[in-house]
Amino acid sequence: MTEIKQSTRPVSKIDLWIAVLVWLIAFSLYVRTLAPSLLWDDSAEFQTLSYTLGMTHSTGYMTYILIGKLFTLIPVGNIAYRVNLMSAFFGALAVAQIFLIVRVLGSQRTAAITASLLLGLTEGFWRRAVIAELYAPAASMIASIWLFILLWNRSGKWGYLFAAGMLGGLSVGIHSTIVMTAASVLIYMAISARTKSAWLGAAAGTLLGLALTTAAFLYVDANDPPSSIYNTVYRPSLSVYGLTASDFDTPFERLFAIFPASHFWTNYFTATPEIMRARLAEYVLFFPWWEVGLIAAGMAAVFFRSRWYDGLYPVVAFLLIWGLGVTVAFSSYQDFYAVSMVFVSVWLGLGAGTLLGGLDALVKWKPARNRMMRAVILSAASLTLILLPIWNARMDVRLAIEKGYTSFILRDHLYPILAPDSAIRNARIILKHVETNAILFSTWDKLYSFIYTAEITMGRTDVNFHEADPTDSRHLSESILAYINANIDMRPIYFTVLLDELNELYLVEQIEDSLYRIRRQ
């Protein structure tokens, strides 16, 4: 099969302007429901380290951190809000990119708008576009790479492959789900690319992206602020990871410590068969019957177009990402569903396009005097396809416009609606009891809320913060015990959680409901 070249533009100016409008609408919706301040868990980590430029938990996410730094420079809200804004920006960008992908694949604008609405209004995706997290940027990067691959195939311009490769290389520092779609790219190119310029363009872009990601890693690694995961988790807990100080003293030793690539594929099929069956049943119920029908139609229809391999790309990528979500043991499996919605939304758009094309063909079969009926039927079908996703999400859309939050934000306590700064306020209550030069051990869910509050809002850099129990075993590791014993006579040491050995090994004084000071016995 030879490379297909066309002289016409694969995307029209009208489509580009509609995509911009789609982005503006989605961005406005996400900003309206955006988390207003500091959060907890991983979100607080990203909010903090985007500002301080420190390394994050596995797998480092250095590209994300540097992009997050740019968002912290926007003069609106506090630092935490600005990093939340990054998710809204990229989430809306993914929604707009879905419109363009469906158009490049040959479906009508109505069908493309329906696809964008599905992605933008789906609860699993929407909720990840309003907090500081990786999944909205990951979805946008996946959509970008797919779009550039399609544009190359339609135009024959190797520059699109260069852009796709560069984004792929950069995405190593954003999220593993993007890297997983490399299999789709390679299969697609193996089938359709027959010129050296195509392969050289893709390779050059990928190498540049990887070089930039490596440079980002080296910069963040060298910056090494006290808030870096190196200092908050790894160095005090090296024994937990089977490491010694000499195993963690060069940049690339640290890279392989936080980037356990050799273990990635072992995450598949770690859940029990019962859990996997339950997740499969759960996933099907996420979609109403009409969406299931259109998605199935779109998956099939794309294989029967002029470029049958267009259908192979999303199938391979979807199965890799969604399949990990279904089969992985850890509890945050639905995050992978949110990213894989990029492919599901496009399938729905193609299914909607097939439905409209079938109606058009059916009405055209009628005599010419029924042209008016044809216009009425197609307009009604188009309007219905656009309104259905909005109708399904009508409660959340109404709440978003009227109240600035959604039912799932309220139901799942995604962020505190009535007390937006509660994470900062609660951290201050603890920190006011922690004197200068202290060491504070905390659980992961509150660790970076403390660090953000201390360093960014209070200007306190005199306290060292660490995760107390990286393995959730309720026990202190050997290296943490050694760290405590080396400092306990010189520095105040506090815990926000009462672990088993503390009362056995130290004198424990309760300062607050969730604050304990330890002293040598």
pLDDT confidence of residue 8: 52
pLDDT confidence of residue 264: 62
List of residues 6+ apart from 140 with CB closer than 8 A: 90, 91, 93, 94, 97
Q: Directed axis angle between helix 422-431 and helix 444-451, to 10°?
A: 80
Q: What's the rounded mean pLDDT across residues 269-295?
A: 92
Measured CA distances, 48 to 43, 84, 475 (Å) = 9, 11, 27
Give the DSSP H or E segment for 281: helix 273-285
155 contacts 10 by C-beta, under 8 angstroms: yes
Among 261, 264, 5, 323, which Cα is nearest to 154's? 5
- 51: which DSSP letter? H
On the question of pLDDT at 95 being above 60, the answer is yes
pLDDT confidence of residue 231: 95
Check residue 512 and give left, alpha or beta (phi > 0: left; psi -120 to 50: alpha).
Answer: beta
Domains in the chain (CATH in brackets) are 13-227+264-399 (no CATH), 422-520 (3.40.190)
Q: Which residue has the tokens 């799932």?
A: 408
Q: What's the rounded mean pLDDT across residues 388-405?
A: 96
Q: Directed axis angle between helix 62-72 and helix 41-52, to 10°?
A: 70
Q: What is the pLDDT of residues 137-184, one digit of tens each?
A: 999 999 999 999 999 999 989 999 999 999 999 999 999 899 899 999
Helix (H, G, I), strand (E, B) or coil at 279: helix
On the question of pLDDT at 2 being above 90, the answer is no
Among 101, 122, 130, 121, which Cα is nearest to 317's? 101
Task: Give the pTM.
Answer: 0.93
Tokens of residue 53, six digits: 């430029």
Helix (H, G, I), strand (E, B) or coil at 509: strand
Long-range contacts of 379-383 (CB under 8 A, 24+ apart): 381/355, 381/356, 382/108, 382/110, 382/356
pLDDT confidence of residue 332: 86
On the question of pLDDT at 200 being above 80, the answer is yes
Starting at the edge strand that comes first in sequence, how are the strands of the sheet with 464-467 ordered?
A: 464-467, 439-442, 493-495, 515-520, 506-512
- 53: which DSSP letter? T
Q: What's the rounded mean pLDDT across residues 507-512?
A: 92
pLDDT category at 339 given cuts 50, 70, 90 is very high
Amino acid at 284: V
CA distance 438 to 463: 5
Q: How many CA atoms lie within 13 A of 222 on its CB side?
A: 5
Among 263, 373, 311, which Cα is nearest to 101's? 311
pLDDT confidence of residue 4: 39
pLDDT confidence of residue 6: 42
62 contacts 213 by C-beta, under 8 angstroms: yes
pLDDT category at 269 given cuts 50, 70, 90 is confident
Long-range contacts of 516-521 (CB under 8 A, 24+ apart): 517/492, 517/493, 518/484, 518/488, 518/493, 518/494, 519/488, 520/488, 520/489
On the question of pLDDT at 260 being above 70, the answer is no
pLDDT confidence of residue 222: 96
- 3: which DSSP letter? P
Strand partners, 439: 464, 493
Measured CA distances, 142 to 97, 311, 380 (Å) = 10, 16, 33
Burial grade of 3 (CB within 10 A; 0-12, 13-18, 19 or more): middle
Percentage with pLDDT > 70 across the chain: 96
Give the DSSP H or E segment for 465: strand 464-467
Amino acid at 155: S
On the question of pLDDT at 230 being above 80, the answer is yes
Tokens of residue 158, six digits: 């190797």
Please give the distance of CA 345 from its chain centroid, rounded to a whole number.
Answer: 16
57 contacts 142 by C-beta, under 8 angstroms: no
Q: Is the peptide bond before 406 cis (omega within 30 degrees of 0)?
A: no
- Within 10 Å of residue 336's Cβ, how many Cβ atoms? 25
CA distance 329 to 268: 8
DSSP strand pairing (464-467 vs 515-520): unpaired
Check residue 182 and give left, alpha or beta (phi > 0: left; psi -120 to 50: alpha).
Answer: alpha
| More confident of the two residues 371 and 445 | 445
- 513: which DSSP letter? T
The DSSP annotation for 150-166 comes to HHHHHH--HHHHHHHHH
133 contacts 46 by C-beta, under 8 angstroms: yes
- Within 10 Å of residue 35's Cβ, how many Cβ atoms? 25
pLDDT category at 263 given cuts 50, 70, 90 is low
Q: Which residue has the tokens 């799942």?
A: 412
Q: What is the pLDDT of residues 457-490, one digit of tens each?
A: 999 999 999 999 888 878 888 999 999 999 999 9
Output the average pLDDT for the chain.
Answer: 92
Among 111, 174, 110, which Cα is nearest to 143's? 174
Q: What is the pLDDT of residues 404-462, one digit of tens each?
A: 999 999 999 999 998 999 999 999 999 999 999 999 999 999 999 999 999 999 999 99
* In 156-265, alpha helices (H): 158-170, 176-180, 182-192, 196-223, 229, 251-258
